[in-house]
C-alpha cells in the first residue's frame, strides 16, 4: 500500500520498492525504528523464536470440502509461518516482516465490539458473546493483496450476517461501517501520520450479508495472533486485502456509503469496492498476475479472486472501471 500524493515518484515502478521508500520517507523515525525492529526480528527468528501466543479455538467445524460455495479453496495452504510473518498492519509498523514482533504484546483482554446505528437492537458485545453467536467454521480462502501478493488462508470464523441478524438492521440501513481500535499506547504506529486513524472500512449491506463475508477469530484452528487482526477481523476474499479490517471495535449500520481509510489516502488508487479485477490495473501497476507467497513464478489473477460464481451478481450492471 502506498500513498501517492505527498511525494511524486513516478520514476519508480515496482510497487514494493516504491512502497518501502515511501514508507521510510513518510514515517521518518517510526519507519527507521521499524527497520531496526525488523532486523532484530530476523536475527531472532530461528525456529524456537517463532512461537506465537495463540490458543486452540474450541469446536472449530471443518468446512465441507465441497468447493461450490467458495468456503473451501482446494489449493495448497500458505504456511502458518508466512501468514503470521508477512503482514500489513500499519497500527504497528509499515514493515511487513516486522509486524509480528511489533505486535507481539498487544493486549486484547476485555475486548468489546459495539454494533450500532440503523439497527433495532444495538449492543456493545463482549468478545465472548460474539464468539458464542455461532461455532467457528474453517473457511479456506484465497486472499489477494492490492500490492500483488496472495495467500491461501484457513480462517476460522462465521458469516458476518449471523451477527447482523442479531442486531436486526432497519430498512434504512444500506451500508456497514467498520472501525479498528484507536489507542496509540497499544498500537504505537498510530503515533505516525502514515494513515488517518482509526483505520476504517465499509461494505454495502448486501456485501456484508453475503455468506462468504467472514468475521474471523482464528487461523489454522487457533485464535488470531495480533499481527493478523486479533481478536476479531473482517475477511472478504473477493476483494483486495485492505478491505479486511483488523482488530474491530465498532460496526455501524448506516444509510450512505461510508468513508474508508485507503480511499481517503489515495482516492484514485483505492476504491470503495476494491473487488479483485485482473482487467482493471492499479494506476501504478498491473493487477493481471500475482505472487503466491511460498511459490516461485507468478499466477494469473482471477476475476473476483475466483469467487465470480458466488458474488458476480452483486455487481450486475455496474461499471467496474468506475466502481473500482
Ligand atoms: N486493518 C488495519 N486495522 N490496519 C491495517 O494496516 N491492512 C490491510 C488489512 N487490514 C490493515 C488492516 C491490508 S493492506 C491487508 S493486505 C490485510 O489487512 C493484510 O492482512 P494479513 O496481514 O492478515 O495478511
> Cα torsion at 253, 258, 261, 264 (round to 10°)?
-170
Spell out the domain ranges in the chain: 16-315
Ligand 1 atom nearest to CA at 86: 22
Ligand 1 atom nearest to CA at 241: 16
- The protein residue whose alpha carbon is closest to atom 12 in ligand 1 is 245
Give me ligand 1 centre to Cα 120, in Å. Answer: 31
Asked if the model's pLDDT at residue 257 lies above 60, the reply is: yes
Q: Are 241 and 143 in contact (CB under 8 A)?
A: yes
Q: Does the beta carbon of 197 sit less than 6 angstroms from any atom of ligand 1?
A: no
Q: What percent of the chain has pLDDT over 70?
A: 83
Distance of CA 82 to the CA centre of its chain: 15
For residue 231, cis peptide bond before it (omega within 30 degrees of 0): yes
Let me know if 167 is exposed, middle or buried by CB neighbors in 10 A (0-12, 13-18, 19+): buried
Residue indicated by cell numbers 481509510: 261
Asked if the model's pLDDT at residue 231 lies above 70, the reply is: yes
Q: Does the beta carbon of 260 sit less than 6 angstroms from any atom of ligand 1?
A: no
Three-state SS for the chain is CCCCCCCCCCCCCCHHHHHHHHHHHHHCHHHHHHHHHHHHHHHHCCHHHHCCCCCECCCCECCCCCCCCCCECCCCCCCHHHHHHCCCECCCECCHHHHHHHCCCCCCCCCEEEEEECECCCEEEEHHHHHCCCCCEEEEEEEECCCCEEEEEEEEEEEHHHHHHHHCECCCCCEEEEEECCCCCCCHHHHCCCCCCCCEEEEEHHHHHCCCCEEEEEECCEECCHHHCCCCEEECCCEEHHHCCCCEEEEEEECCCCCCHHHHHCCCCCCCCCECCCCCCECCECCCEEEECCCCCCEECCHHHHCHHHHHHHHCCCCCCCCC
Q: In terms of DSSP bridges, do strands 248-254 and 112-117 run parallel, antiparallel, or are they unpaired?
A: parallel
Q: How far apart are CA 234 and CA 155, in angstroms?
A: 11
Digit-coded pLDDT (tens) for 312-323: 999 999 999 999
**105: its cell numbers:** 504484546
Digit-coded pLDDT (tens) for 183-223: 999 999 999 999 999 999 999 999 999 999 999 999 999 99
Q: Please give the average per-residue pLDDT across 96-109, as a whole number.
A: 97
pLDDT at residue 23 in the model? 41
Q: Which residues is 112 bridged to in the sheet?
A: 126
Asked if the model's pLDDT at residue 167 lies above 50, the reply is: yes
Q: In terms of DSSP bridges, do strands 233-235 and 149-159 run parallel, antiparallel, or are they unpaired?
A: unpaired
Residue 64's pLDDT band, with cuts at 50, 70 and 90, is low
pLDDT at residue 259 in the model? 98
pLDDT at residue 40 in the model? 38
Digit-coded pLDDT (tens) for 67-92: 789 999 999 999 999 999 999 999 99
Q: In terms of DSSP bridges, do strands 200-204 and 233-235 run parallel, antiparallel, or are they unpaired?
A: unpaired
Digit-coded pLDDT (tens) for 17-39: 433 433 433 433 333 333 433 34
Give residues with Cβ within 8 angstroms of 186, minimum separation 6.
Answer: 106, 107
Residue 101's pLDDT band, with cuts at 50, 70 and 90, is very high
Our mutation pick for probing the ligand 1 site, out of 77, 150, 241, 243, counting the most ligand atoms within 8 A of Cβ, is 241
pLDDT at residue 67 in the model? 75
Q: Please give the average per-residue pLDDT across 105-131, as a whole number.
A: 98
Give me ligand 1 centre to Cα 300, in Å. Answer: 22
Asked if the model's pLDDT at residue 52 lies above 90, the reply is: no
Closest CA to 157 of 38, 86, 248, 288: 248
Q: Does the beta carbon of 115 sit less than 6 angstroms from any atom of ligand 1?
A: no
Q: Please give the average per-residue pLDDT across 5-17, as a whole number.
A: 38
pLDDT at residue 18 in the model? 36
Query: What's the CATH number of domain 16-315, 3.90.420.10, 3.40.1190.20, 1.10.10.10, 3.40.1180.10?
Result: 3.90.420.10
Asked if the model's pLDDT at residue 274 lies above 60, the reply is: yes
Q: What percent of the chain has pLDDT over 90?
A: 79
Amino acid at each position: 500500500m502506498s500513498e501517492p500524493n505527498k511525494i511524486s515518484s513516478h520514476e519508480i515502478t515496482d510497487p514494493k520498492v516504491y512502497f518501502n521508500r515511501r514508507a521510510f520517507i513518510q514515517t521518518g523515525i517510526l519507519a527507521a525504528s521499524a527497520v531496526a525492529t525488523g532486523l532484530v526480528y530476523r536475527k531472532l527468528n530461528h525456529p524456537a523464536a517463532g512461537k506465537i501466543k495463540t490458543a486452540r479455538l474450541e469446536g472449530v467445524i471443518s468446512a465441507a470440502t465441497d468447493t461450490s460455495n467458495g468456503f473451501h479453496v482446494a489449493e495448497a495452504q500458505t504456511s502458518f509461518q508466512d501468514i503470521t510473518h508477512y503482514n500489513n498492519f500499519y497500527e504497528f509498523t509499515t514493515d511487513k516482516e516486522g509486524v509480528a514482533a511489533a505486535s507481539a504484546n498487544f493486549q486484547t483482554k476485555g475486548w468489546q465490539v459495539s454494533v450500532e446505528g440503523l439497527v433495532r437492537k444495538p449492543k456493545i458485545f463482549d468478545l465472548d458473546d460474539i464468539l458464542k453467536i455461532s461455532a467457528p467454521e474453517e473457511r479456506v480462502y484465497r486472499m489477494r493483496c492490492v500490492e500483488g501478493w496472495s495467500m491461501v488462508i484457513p480462517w476460522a470464523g462465521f458469516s458476518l450476517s449471523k451477527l447482523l441478524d442479531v442486531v436486526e438492521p432497519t430498512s434504512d440501513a444500506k451500508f456497514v461501517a467498520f472501525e479498528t481500535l484507536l489507542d496509540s499506547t497499544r498500537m504505537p504506529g498510530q503515533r505516525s501520520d502514515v494513515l488517518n486513524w482509526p483505520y476504517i472500512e465499509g461494505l454495502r449491506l448486501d456485501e456484508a450479508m453475503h455468506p462468504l463475508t467472514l468475521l474471523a477469530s482464528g487461523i489454522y484452528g487457533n485464535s488470531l495472533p495480533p499481527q493478523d487482526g486479533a481478536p476479531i477481523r473482517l475477511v472478504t476474499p473477493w476483494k483486495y486485502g485492505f478491505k479486511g479490517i483488523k482488530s474491530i471495535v465498532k460496526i455501524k449500520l448506516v444509510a450512505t456509503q461510508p468513508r474508508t481509510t485507503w480511499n481517503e489516502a489515495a482516492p484514485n488508487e483505492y476504491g470503495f469496492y476494491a473487488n479483485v479485477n485482473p482487467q482493471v490495473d492499479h494506476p501504478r501497476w498491473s493487477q493481471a498476475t500475482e505472487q503466491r507467497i511460498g511459490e516461485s513464478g507468478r499466477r494469473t489473477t482471477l476475476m473476483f479472486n475466483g469467487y465470480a460464481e458466488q458474488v458476480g451478481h452483486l455487481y450486475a450492471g455496474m461499471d467496474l472501471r468506475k466502481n473500482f
